[in-house]
Amino acid sequence: MIEREEMPYDVVVVGGGPAGLATAIRLKQVDPELQVCVLEKGSEIGAHILSGATIDPKALDELLPTWREDGCPLAETPVTDNWHWHMTKKGKFSLPHAIQPPFMSNKGNYTGSLGNLCRWLAEQAEALEIEIFPGFPAAEILYDDKGAVLGVQTGDMGVDREGNQKGDFQAGMNLLGKYTVFCEGARGHLTKRLKAKFDLEANCEPQIYGLGIKELWDIPADKHVPGRVIHTQGWPMSESDSWGGGFLYHQANNQVALGFVTALDYKNPYVYPFEEFQRWKQHPEIRAILEGGKRVAYGARVINEGGWQSVPQLAFPGGVLAGCSAGFVNVPRIKGTHTAMKSGMLAAESIAAAIKAGREADTLQDYDDAVRSSWIAKELKLVQNAEPMVAKWGTELGTVLAGADMWLRTLFGFGVAKPMKHHTDASETQRADLYKPIAYPKPDGVISFDRLTSVSYSFTNHEEDQPVHLKLKDPSVPTEINLPVYAGPEARYCPAGVYEFVDAGAGPKLQINAQNCVHCKTCDIKDPTQNIEWVTPEGGGGPNYPNM
């Protein structure tokens, strides 16, 4: 038995993203006497934060109304110009704003780095005497003798690959709270356990995801239009039995954030999301913006795409889910920061009231009810069929039906169809013999790049002599099932080259290059046999995203 230090708090917040920080700040706004801590697995706040991002400031206005005057970096670049392109292989046409529901407009929104917004929010939190612990991942959930969540245990440091304690071993701490808020982001590894233990998805559809791959570029000043926002759909996904889309945002300092989201429910196991992104950048309209520029950063992260029908039960004994742990992304708008923050604020208000009433470790049903009667629910119900319609009927017909459904819900309160169902992304993967391999073009090293070079621009680092944090439930599955049946999709869906089939002399073997992992969680989601489990590595490991 390892002796562990115990640190008691009123509230423990797991995750230093926008939802976690909003939760902590609102708690102290409601009751300055509350003792609140925030755990962040990245080396600093913002190190693991990756988003487009074009942000609706609605929740930020509610949380910190003077943010524009208080030095928040998001205020630098309001959206000035908004385009939605349907791409063909060589050209494009713009979708008129008039045919899109009003909420699809980016008027009043801002584009910038979500990581930098979180860094600024952390400064506001620390000014309220909130304790923030970067580099301390929550590795285990602690329960009391009645089965209620009691807090979390941070990961041990200084353990070698075989699980032995090294000379610099440091035991993780037990952080105990009257309530624990899980804001781990999409596909949080503790959230996944909580959903199973408390059957939180009993009355909702399974969550589904998209893989977002992003780069930052410095471009020539004469090509830069501060505040211009471009979204694309159509090519190249139209060629590969899949769907998704691109984005390109003109942000501050002659920089553009661009990226590509591939819906992970694709059927063709030969689809290679990283290469789809590289192809997209070579489109004449995108290449024209990037030529003469320089790539400065790269990263990847999954995005919740299940919508309102995939929101689970949010409260359980001793804790709640908030932010992308629960899944509040508005898929057609490609926005979730405002809804994530609002959920954290509602959680904080419920928790503060419960503690004031002398309660602890019970189920905060009023928080769940508050979310379902809030503007989060109103917004997400308007778009709840957009993703499943495009997934079922394809980009062209699906977009038309989704648009009609959103307009009807906006104007009359009902849609083309009842809320549609989802299938897990893993279950959608089909056998490789039903498809032909896709021949992707070689990178030119100017606009398109190879995967391993790209990973170096994520500034990812892990201590090599530590337990591998990508666990195979059955080591034989990759070579006995995934490779012969699905053509080894793990070698393609990972945007960081973590998984590689190598010749081991007696046959192929799956090699796991865990040090490359950018913590996107795609493997935990898309593996067709659900044989891979992502767990947290040693604290501070992973990407170190600048300005992402």
Helix, strand, coil percentages, rounded to 5, for the chain: 35, 25, 45
Active-site hit among 119, 301, 409, 492: 301
Q: How many CA atoms lie within 13 A of 297 on its CB side?
A: 26
- Considering the candidates 26, 180, 520, 536, report the single residue annotated as catalytic: 520
37 part of the active site: no
For helices 18-30 and 114-127, the axis angle rounded to 10 degrees is 20
Token duo for residue 470: 């990508």
Mean pLDDT calculated for residue range 314-328? 98
Q: Are residues 527 and 477 part of one domain?
A: yes
What is the domain-level CATH number for residue 326? 3.50.50.60
Q: Which one, of 260, 267, 259, lies nearest residue 242 by Cα?
A: 267
> DSSP letter string over 403-462?
HHHHHHHHHHS--SSSPPP---HHHH---GGGSPPP-PPPP-SSSS--HHHHHHTTT-B-
| Residue 102 pLDDT grade (very low, low, confident, very high; cuts 50, 70, 90) | confident
pLDDT tens digits, residue range 150-194?
999 999 999 999 999 999 999 999 999 999 999 999 999 999 999
**pLDDT per position as a tens digit, 520-538:** 999 999 999 999 999 999 9
Asked which of 381, 408, 431 is the last residue of a domain, the reply is 381
The DSSP code for 542 is B
Assess whether 371 and 390 both reside in one domain.
no
Q: Is there a single domain that holds both residue 376 and residue 389? A: no
CA-atom Rg of the chain in angstroms: 22
Question: In total, how many domains does the chain have?
Answer: 3
- Is-above-0.85 flag for pTM? yes
Name the token pair of 488. Answer: 């080894």
Q: Given 337, 339, 429, 522, which residue is catalytic?
A: 337
Q: What's the mean pLDDT when you consider all of the chain? A: 95
Shared domain for 409 and 359, answered yes or no, is: no
**Is 195 within the bounds of a domain?**
yes
Any domain includes 268:
no
User: Are 165 and 39 in a shared domain?
Assistant: yes
pLDDT at 394: 81
Is residue 302 domain-resident?
no
Is the model's pLDDT at 505 over the cut of 90? no
Residue 273 scores a pLDDT above 90: yes
Distance CA 258, CA 516 (A): 22
Asked whether the predicted pLDDT for residue 290 surpasses 90, the reply is yes
* Residue 105 forms part of a structural domain: no
pLDDT of residue 399: 84
pLDDT of residue 416: 87
Average pLDDT over residues 239-251: 92
- Give the end of a domain, one of 366, 398, 418: 418
| The predicted structure's pLDDT at residue 62 | 98
Cα-Cα-Cα-Cα dihedral of 354, 356, 361, 362, to 10°?
-30
Dist. CA 398–CA 501, nearest whole Å: 36
Higher pLDDT, 3 or 154: 154
Beta bridge partners of 39: 14, 133
Residue 344 resides in a domain = yes
Strand pairing of 6-14 and 255-263? unpaired
Position 396 scores a pLDDT of 80
Lowest mean pLDDT among 100-104, 464-468, 493-497: 100-104
Instruction: Identify the band that residue 100 occupies on the pLDDT scale cut at 50, 70 and 90.
Output: confident
Distant-in-sequence, close-in-space partners of 144: CB < 8 Å, separation ≥ 6: 150, 318, 361
Q: Which of 26, 37, 43, 51 is catalytic?
A: 51
* Amino acid at residue number 521: K
**CA 284 to chain CA centroid, nearest Å:** 29
pLDDT score, position 534:
96
Interval 100-125 mean pLDDT: 94
pLDDT tier at 317, thresholds 50, 70, 90:
very high
Supply the angle between the helices 337-356 and 18-30 in degrees, to the nearest 10.
30
Q: Which tokens belong to 532?
A: 């891979």
Tell me, yes or no, whether 392 and 374 share the same domain.
no
| Residues 17-37: tens digit of each pLDDT | 999 999 999 999 999 999 999
Residues 408 and 500 in one domain: no
Per the structure, the complete domain to which residue 394 belongs is given by 385-418
How far are the Cα atoms of 37, 161, 189, 191, 523 from residue 469, in angstroms, in the given order? 25, 10, 11, 17, 12
Under the banding of pLDDT at 50, 70 and 90, the label for residue 70 is very high
* Cα 56 from Cα 333, distance rounded (Å): 10
- The proportion of the chain whose per-residue pLDDT surpasses 90, expressed as a percent, equals 88
- In this prediction, residues 217-233 reach a mean pLDDT of 97
* Average pLDDT over every residue of 253-281: 97
Please check whether residues 459 and 483 belong to one and the same domain: yes
Helix, strand, or coil here: 194? Answer: helix
**Which of the four pLDDT bands, split at 50, 70 and 90, describes residue 391?**
confident
**1 falls within a domain:** no
Q: Are residues 130 and 178 in the same domain?
A: yes
Identified catalytic residue from 72, 118, 183, 523: 523
List b or e across 267-294, with b for residues whose CB sees 16 or more CB atoms inside 10 angstroms.
ebbbbbbbbbbbbbbbbeebeebbeebe
Examine the domain organization and report whether 29 and 169 are in the same domain: yes
Q: Kindly indicate the confidence band of residue 357, based on its pLDDT and cuts at 50, 70 and 90.
A: very high
pLDDT for res 15: 97
Same domain, 312 and 360: yes
Among the listed residues 232, 517, 522, 536, the single catalytic one is 517
Residue 171, pLDDT score: 94
Domain boundary pick from 364, 395, 418: 418
Contact in structure between 168 and 4 (CB atoms under 8 Å) = no
Is the domain of 150 the same as that of 162?
yes
Report the C-alpha gap between 79 and 192 in whole angstroms.
36
Look up 301 and say whether it is catalytic: yes
pLDDT above 80 (res 504): no
Type of residue at 541: G
Q: Which of 37, 72, 183, 494 is catalytic?
A: 494
494 is catalytic: yes
Q: Is the pLDDT of residue 67 over 90?
A: yes
Burial of 97 (0-12, 13-18, 19+ CB in 10 A): middle
Does residue 56 contact residue 78 with C-beta atoms inside 8 Å? no
Whether 523 is a known active-site residue: answer: yes
Q: Is residue 174 part of a domain?
A: yes
| pLDDT for 496 beyond 90 | yes
Question: Residue 545 has what pLDDT?
Answer: 97
Beta strands 228-234 and 81-87: pairing type? parallel
pLDDT value for 513: 96
Q: Within a domain: residue 504? A: yes
The predicted model gives 212-231 an average pLDDT of 97
Checking if the pLDDT of 398 tops 90, the result is no
CATH number at 458 reads 3.30.70.20
**Is 517 annotated as catalytic?**
yes
Angstrom distances, CA of residue 9 to CA of 33, 316, 318: 11, 19, 13
- The answer, yes or no, to whether residue 51 has pLDDT greater than 80, is yes
Q: What's residue 337's pLDDT? A: 97
